[in-house]
Structure 1
Amino acid sequence: MLKNSQNIFSFIKSAFSEEESITPTKSVIKWLEKRNEQVSIHIEKVKFYELKQWKYDEYSGSLRHDSGKFFSIDGIKVSTNWGNVNEWEQPIINQPEVGYLGIITKEFNGTLHFLMQAKIEPGNVNYVQLSPTLQATKSNYTQVHKGKKPHYLDFFRNAEPDQILLDQLQSEQGGRFLKKRNRNIIIKVDEEIEVKDDFIWLTLAQLKKLMNFDNLVNMDTRTVISGIPYGSYDEDVVGLFKFFGYQGNNNIGRKFLASALLENSLHTNDEVIQFITRLKSYYELEVERVSLKEIDDWVYTPSEIKHKENKYFKVIPVQVEIGNREVVSWSQPMVQPTQDGLCAFVCKEINGVLHFVVQAKLECGNFDIIELAPTVQCLTGNYRDTKKGKLPFLDYVLNAPEEKTVFDAIQSEEGGRFFREQNKNKIIVAGDEIPLELPENYIWMTLNQLHTFLKYNNYLNIQARSLISAISFI
């Protein structure tokens, strides 16, 4: 949780400070392009039997690392009373470790800057993306792989309580990971620290600006900065932000800022909790382990685990060689999608404040059955083939006029486990064409409320957090 109002105002100032950065944004883009040109990377799809230190475990029925660490690919059988399909089987990533997603911050010329890394992941579409200062699983930072210790690890291990600006446990993709969580943490330092190769200081405004470009800011960065709240205020206090210059340069930026700061919402937080609790109490989710080679409707071949109709995703074995990682050569299984996805928030003004259409969504890997998701989330099926009218708000999102679309970019999923998976991310500001009454399992929430629920574990899923991170006030 945030420690005090000074930290809150430091975040707000950084969110308005693109020009005040010690590195111009255009230079950052060129810096990333140069890193991509210089990268030494070779990724080859191989056979499962060619994976080094990975094998199919007959006893557990899983694809596992010899150390028993990192992660495994398990088979699961899912039973639920949610939706039209109440039972299915699938592969899933089982990674029970809690990893670090951490960012170091420091003030330069009175403005908070974030230490970001140009990190190569084998599954990234464009290889190099901006990642947190520290992005490491427990197996990585405890050096199970016998490689080098990640840079800046000790800053997080030794952080004093008054250095920690944000500290949350957040979930990962609920349809692909089994109850996976990471520690999202932001710390602040005052001392001079060495900026290693491939690291750079950026303001929060710059990070949000760079999210408008396809596949520049990775998923782990997006989930960390999504958790930054900006406090709750009445309208008189919000008026002071205009006096101090925090009013934004465009109309939508001002509306997003008001939605983030004001407590004026259609539903109280208690009503939101009641909405979620009711759904968690009614819907059931049972997950049972089954052998990977015996999953219904899936085929285990020497080169992939795939659905018999080539739908959803597949698991592939890859051999990786990367020049500047803690380990430069390794092999692993990865999840490869069969199509790109779509994630979108639709919002509109209610009583003068922007509210977002939020859906409660059950996914098989969720830690606590239900998480809050974007208005539209289509990841496992081809949304282009969805029958018209079958999925709430999908037709509206696909046909929304350009002038109502305030954010539209392609964003990658996490490149350490997912092979070249990317989704179109959109935020649309609607008008009266979206009625106040919503379909079942949907609710209106302000940005302030979304930030409030982000403080706690397992409320907002990673797709919702990714979109929230892109919301800019300038």
Structure 2
Amino acid sequence: MNNYLNNLFTKSLFEEENILNPTSDALKWIKEQNRKVKVSIREIPFSELKNWSFREGALRHDSGKFFSIDGIRASTNYGKIHEWEQPIINQPEIGYLGFITKEFKGVLHFLMQAKIEPGNINYVQLSPTLQATKSNYSQVHKGNIPAYLNFFREAKKEQVLLDQLQSEQGARFLKKRNRNIIIKVEEDIEILENFIWLTLGQVKDLMKIDNIVNMDSRTVISGIPLLEPPLSLSDDLGKHSQSFEQNNFNRGLYASCAYNAKCKNSLDDIIKFITSHKCNLELDIEKIPLSSLDNWVITDRSIHHKEKKYFEIIATEIEIGNREVVNWSQPMVKPVQEGICALICKNIKGVMHFIMQAKLECGNFDIIELAPTVQCLTDNYRTKKSIEALPFLKYVLNAQKSNLIFDTYQSEEGGRFFKEQNRSMIIFDEENIPLELPENYVWMTYNQIQMFLKHNNYLNIQARSLLSSLSFRL
């Protein structure tokens, strides 16, 4: 990243007082947005879905657009379960997840949308300026065109601050990706009533509150580097430089941002690690009819596992007052239990390193993606069997409060997942984490992670969500 962008994002990260919208006012504004929008979401039988039907072995929209619920059979040599069948969301189109940004008095602000998704636990969450599938912005639903779409369609090259193609949840989506994009405008633009300007620092502060910043905002923000040395601490951080010199976490994370940091593993070592796993692991996906899924039951109201675990597919009737379409019905994925995602880090020779795992999921584009140290989403992780078998899970569940850098509940994407939240944790421990790791885990610096993030299909969305919450402790 060039110095201009580095300074632009860094200044927004450390902005404590938003001259437009103080954080306390932003929280009141979110509550007000929740209060004034009519929302009705109820579970219904599949037979009451409008424009959806079971045909050709799947649950499909009559237009052939949006998404479908398909059945798959997965075969792999990864892990202890080598073959299984499941429903999965098939949505091959690429959507927009985009922020408009603008400088006010030299500080970059992000235009956030108070958006209600049908699956959100608390209805309103802060989403990107534009959050739209191709079916949405092509107006297949015959509704209004998404607000601010043309700013992204017509953006000039010099306006684009970030542009990446990133994956969605690999265990629930079949090879789904979205365009993560940030653009910067100079002109004044009309701000609609459910949009607000916030700094990057404010957005990260709001992530510390359960279920305020949605998954789509988090994945885009993960692509913004915290900062890029080697500028001096005083140049980069001004009045905050003293707190860095007195804080092991800040010092280690600052050093970890540098391209020339002393790394436990070189970039070549990590590429070899990833390549080896991709070459040695096998993943074969075969589409099969939903009615043929082994161990899954289809009733008039759900598609669920016979042991009532993992997740289920339900039908919903939705009414939301401020959407492009205010009333519709659709299938959704409903969790059976909450999950947990945790990223463990420590300073190695003064440089912060994170434990990343090479994780295979059935919907991945390229077999494995780098995931958090612990990721348990689809099964009960609190069983004795899981706690003993999964590396680092027992440690995470018993982590000392003093080592917790981040610990909140964060929602999955509310457009497809019904009231799903997972505990999200970042744990900093310099004493109890050994340097030697299991074979599918690797130490990486923050800068190395960011380098892989610039490319497609390397970091999964759970890892990106946790990375987005990283900030310095001031």
Q: Please indicate, yes or no, whether the TM-score normalized by the shorter chain is above 0.5.
A: yes
What corresponds to 2:439 in structure 1?
440
Residues 78, 422 of structure 1: CA spacing in aligned structure 2 closer, same or farther, 3 A cutoff? same
Paired amino acid for 2:458: Y
Decide which moves more: 381-390 or 462-471: 381-390
Q: Distance in 2 between matches of 1:196 and 1:269?
A: 45
The structure 1 residue matched to 2:360, chosen from 356, 359, 362, is 362
**8 Å CA contact 1:122, 1:416 repeated in 2:** yes
What corresponds to 1:330 in structure 2?
328
What corresponds to 2:293 in structure 1?
295
Q: Distance in 2 between matches of 1:179 and 1:263?
A: 34
What corresponds to 2:61 in structure 1?
65
Q: Distance in 1 between matches of 2:260 and 2:31?
A: 41
What corresponds to 2:459 in structure 1?
460
**8 Å CA contact 2:229, 2:257 repeated in 1:** no
Q: Distance in 2 between matches of 1:399 and 1:417?
A: 32
| Shift in Å, 1:242 | 5.3
Secondary structure, counterpart of 2:16 in structure 1:
coil
**8 Å CA contact 1:336, 1:418 repeated in 2:** yes
The structure 2 residue matched to 1:263, chosen from 250, 260, 280, is 260
Q: Distance in 2 between matches of 1:248 and 1:346?
A: 25
The residue correspondences of 1:60-459 to structure 2 (distance < 5 A) are 60-230=56-226, 232-234=228-230, 237-241=231-235, 244-245=238-239, 247=241, 249=243, 251=247, 252-261=249-258, 263-264=260-261, 265-387=263-385, 388-459=387-458
Residues 230, 425 of structure 1: CA spacing in aligned structure 2 closer, same or farther, 3 A cutoff? closer
Decide which moves more: 31-40 or 169-178: 31-40
Q: Which runs of 5+ in 2 are unaligned?
A: none
Residues 253, 21 of structure 1: CA spacing in aligned structure 2 closer, same or farther, 3 A cutoff? farther
**8 Å CA contact 2:342, 2:373 repeated in 1:** yes
| Shift in Å, 1:21 | 4.3
Q: What's the % identity of the aligned pairs? A: 61
| Shift in Å, 1:257 | 2.9
> Matched residue pairs, number?
468
RMSD of aligned C-alpha atoms? 1.3
| Shift in Å, 1:449 | 1.0
| Shift in Å, 1:38 | 1.7
Residues 386, 137 of structure 1: CA spacing in aligned structure 2 closer, same or farther, 3 A cutoff? farther
| Shift in Å, 1:399 | 0.5
Paired amino acid for 1:429: F
User: Runs (4+) of structure 1 moved beyond 4 Å?
Assistant: none
Secondary structure, counterpart of 2:382 in structure 1:
helix
Q: Distance in 2 between matches of 1:82 and 1:368?
A: 14
Cα-to-partner distance string for 1:165-197 (whole Å, 9 max, x where unaligned): 000000000000000000000000000001111
Q: Distance in 1 between matches of 2:363 and 2:272?
A: 22
Residues 238, 307 of structure 1: CA spacing in aligned structure 2 closer, same or farther, 3 A cutoff? farther
Residues 24, 243 of structure 1: CA spacing in aligned structure 2 closer, same or farther, 3 A cutoff? closer
Paired amino acid for 1:374: P
**8 Å CA contact 1:232, 1:263 repeated in 2:** no
Q: Distance in 2 between matches of 1:260 and 1:95?
A: 35
Q: Which runs of 5+ in 1 are unaligned?
A: none
Q: Distance in 2 between matches of 1:261 and 1:108?
A: 28
Q: Distance in 1 between matches of 2:17 and 2:351?
A: 28
Paired amino acid for 2:440: N
**8 Å CA contact 1:100, 1:137 repeated in 2:** yes
Residues 290, 248 of structure 1: CA spacing in aligned structure 2 closer, same or farther, 3 A cutoff? farther
Paired amino acid for 2:220: V
Paired amino acid for 1:368: D
Q: Distance in 1 between matches of 2:110 and 2:194?
A: 14
**8 Å CA contact 2:342, 2:426 repeated in 1:** yes
Paired amino acid for 1:215: N
